[in-house]
Structure 1
Amino acid sequence: MKISIMKPGLLSTVQDLGRYGYLSQAVPVAGAMDQLSHRLANKAVGNDDDLATIEFTYAGASFKAETDVLLAYSGDGAFLVYNEELMPAEKPLFFCASSIIKLIANPIGVRTYLAVAGGWSVPNVMGSKSTYLTAGFGGLKGRALQKGDVLGNGNELNLVSAGIKDQLIKNELIFPNWRISRESLLPHNRQTLRVVLANEINWFDATSIISFLTKSYNVDRRSNRMGYHLVGKPLMRKVKRELLSTAVTPGIIQVTGSGDLVILMADCQTTGGYPRIAHIAAVDLPLCAQLKPGDEIRFSEISQDEAEELYLEREHDLALITTAISLKYIR
């Protein structure tokens, strides 16, 4: 299964669930910004969650099926269009060779993930296929996709993927009558991000902490895969000392010397010297990945136990989805 890139869009890269085990060597995790959408696109074609997808930023991209292909997409950055018809998300899509598929704008979010049955084939670098643009490695030659690039799937189809493909071909369908409900896996209020207060929370005065948890912030245009700068009321420290560089991970919210907030994202550095006021709950990081410049957000405090419970509940739901799809196609 192969596609060729006709228009790469603003920023399109190959990503998986990330590159772990190299933080001590200053190599970020990288990987899909919206890991939920990445995983759902993979599940819809019967893949394991960690197989590579293409992460499209916004719309304006298009590609051609060089062979028959079994694809799925998920995310809020774009809709897939074939023959002037919107293709549904979170379900398998079968396209014949020579089909041309476009991505048109979805005003809700930023990023969309395209999975192929068997996963996109690019070299493993440090145990991952994720593109890390800053250092120029991973993905396809360590860079964003370009016009003329050809990508194919890297593995023979497993039983689930083969079953999906065979059923669609047999019934001459582009897609089946089922889909994964991504909406049921996301909170109703997508503008409020749940956070666990972090190590240096006591460095800030009470007024600033109250402001952090009650006032709104807007995403600044200086935001990318490394981090999101937020515009809002600056936070004031009551502790004047500086923090020695310490470990940071995606989801950490740092406070700069001027009192501004930065949410660290997938390509963030491995250490940082700004105080950490909070950490976004893992289940809400996919919401961050879909934030656009100008979007308004708020923060709501939860406990570490609550964050873990929410994470485990979602993982349980995702496991049920995998089981349901498998049972449908493996007899």
Structure 2
Amino acid sequence: MSIKIIKPGVFSTIQDLGRTQFLDQAVPISGVMDQVSAKIANLLVGNAVDAALIEIVDGNFEIITEEANLMALVSGYSFFKIENQEAPTNRPIFIPKGLKVQLENNINGRYSYLAIAGGWDVPQVLGSKSTFVTAAFGGYQGRRLQKGDDLASTRKLTNQNQILLENLKSETVNYPKWSIPAKQFLSNSNSVVRVVLGREFEWFEDLAFVDFTSKPYHLKDGNRMGYHLEGPKIIRKKSHQKELLSTAVLPGTIQVTGDGSLILLMTDCQTTGGYPRIAKVAEVDLPICAQLKSGKAIHFEIISLKEAEKLYLELQSDFQKLATAIQLKLE
């Protein structure tokens, strides 16, 4: 085995980029909440971007290495600890056997990602290794990680994995001077979230859109299924008081409840919903939403579908460039 879980934290699970092929059968996408951070973590150790990682909520997470490993921890916090000594996040790091690794807190976000060379070895279920705890399938035995769990890497190493290992292998903890923080790949302010208008946007008063785009919303509470946002109420037109039949929803869909409150659906959300959809968060800004801490404010900005698609393609191009840049650093 590669590691043993000593402290599992609040809610740590195995995730990859999720399963999109079964929405018509009411199976949620699941997968990582913050795809930018997760993809960077995988690239830092030489994995494909869709390799399985450990997703850690907030912190209080501790493991012990049972074998020497090449890992990367991508987090809003600038360091974690190895044997009570500070070690930097957001870069590949070689960790010898028998060392205690701790992430105490993530003060600048909610989700951190621990990648290992080769990816974590768990079975695929419906084409993905992601955990869907509600239905108890995927990931590690269909559940969150617990104290005493043993996890191993797949040992299926890419050329990039092997080059990184050869460069960093050492008798002691070893890592390069360079790092790649996830915030470099967020193309927008951490407080502005771009959205495309939803199918039922015409159901709402014009004044509601003034409030929606000019006043802040705060995270009240939430989980992997969705976030309740606190802010101005969104008022329906008198001509649109009817109930909506259940219709398709996705992570990033913003629904308006009967009392005018907003629900932002996240990666474990249901595949259909009965509340009107005022907007859909642009894919590139979902990581900003995922990392929201309770009480933190965001502002919505409406963009076109074409703009959202352009931003998405630019981000995918950036990841390809990042993979090339990491390879060049090792030559």
Judge which range, 175-184 or 284-293, deviates more: 175-184
- The CA RMSD measured in Å over matched residues stands at 1.5
For 1:307 and 1:21, locate their aligned partners in 2 and report how far apart those are by CA, in whole Å. 22
TM-aligned CA deviation for residue 232 of structure 1: 1.3
Quote the residue 2:82 is aligned against. 82
Q: 1:76-134: per-residue Cα shift (whole Å, max 9, x none)? A: 26842113333222211101100100002121110000000000000100010000010
Q: Does 1:145 align with 2:126?
A: no
- Give SS of 1:11's match: coil
Query: Which amino acid is 1:244 matched to?
Result: L
Instruction: Determine if the alignment matches structure 1 residue 57 to structure 2 residue 51.
Output: no
List runs of 5+ in structure 1 lacking aligned partners. none
Please identify, of 299-308 and 277-286, the stretch whose mean Cα deviation from structure 2 is larger: 299-308
**Who is 1:250 aligned against?**
251
Q: 2:208 — aligned with what?
A: 208
Which amino acid is the alignment partner of residue 198 of structure 2? A
Aligned-partner Cα distance in 2 for 1:122–1:200: 40
Q: Is the 8 A contact 2:75 2:106 kept in 1?
A: no
Q: CA deviation at 1:157?
A: 1.5
Partner of 1:276: 277
Partner of 2:18: 18
Secondary structure of 2:67's aligned partner: coil
Give the match for residue 130 of structure 1: 130
Deviations 1:135-164 (A, max 9, x none): 000000000000000101013211111111
Deviations 1:34-67 (A, max 9, x none): 0111100000000001110000000111000000
Runs of 4+ in 1 over 4 A off after TM superposition: 170-173
Aligned position for 2:311: 310
Cα displacement (A) at 1:169: 1.9
- Post-superposition shift, 1:172? 5.9
CA contact (8 A) 1:78 1:105 kept: no
CA contact (8 A) 1:192 1:297 kept: yes
Q: TM-score, normalised by structure 2?
A: 0.96
Aligned to 1:315, the other structure's residue is in SS state: helix
Task: Measure how far apart 1:75 and its partner are.
Answer: 2.9
Instruction: Find the counterpart in structure 2 of residue 175 from structure 1.
Output: 175
Residue 262 and residue 190 in structure 1: after superposition, are their counterparts in 2 closer, same or farther (change >3 A)? Answer: same
Query: What is the deviation of 1:186?
Result: 1.3
Distance in 2, Cα, partners of 1:258 & 1:115: 42
Distance in 1 separating the partners of 2:96 and 2:75: 23
1:23–1:116 Cα change, 3 Å: same
Alignment check: 8 A CA contact 2:32 2:55 kept? yes
The structural deviation recorded for 1:240 is 1.0
1:262 is aligned to 2:282: no
| Sequence identity percentage | 47
- Specify the alignment match of 1:292 in structure 2: 293
Q: Is the Cα–Cα contact under 8 Å of residues 6 and 147 in structure 1 kept in the other structure?
A: yes
Aligned twin of 1:224: 223
**Matched residues in 1 for 2:65 and 2:213: separation?**
48
Spell out, residue by residue over 1:13-35, the C-alpha distance to the aligned partner (whole angstroms, 9 max, x if none). Answer: 00000012111111000000001
Query: Residue type of the partner of 1:322?
Result: A
Aligned length: 329
Q: Deviations over 1:263-320 (max 9, x none)?
A: 0000000001100000111100011110122111110111111111111111111100
Three-state SS of the structure 2 residue aligned to 1:134 is helix
CA shift digits 1:182-234 (9 cap, x unpaired)? 2221145201111111111110011111111111111112x000000011121
CA distance in 2, matches of 1:189, 1:156: 38
Quote how far apart the aligned CAs of 1:171 are. Answer: 9.1
Q: How far apart are residue 327 of structure 1 and its match?
A: 3.8
AA in 1 matched with 2:224 = R
Q: Structure 1 residue 66 and structure 2 residue 61: aligned?
A: no
| SS, match of residue 242 in structure 1 | coil
Q: Which residue of structure 2 aligns with residue 107 of structure 1?
A: 107
SS of residue matched to 2:162: helix
In 2: Cα distance, 1:287 partner to 1:234 partner: 22
CA contact (8 A) 2:52 2:119 kept: yes
| 3-state SS of 1:86 partner | strand
Partners of 2:53 and 2:79 lie apart in 1 by 16
Q: Is the 8 A contact 2:45 2:117 kept in 1?
A: yes
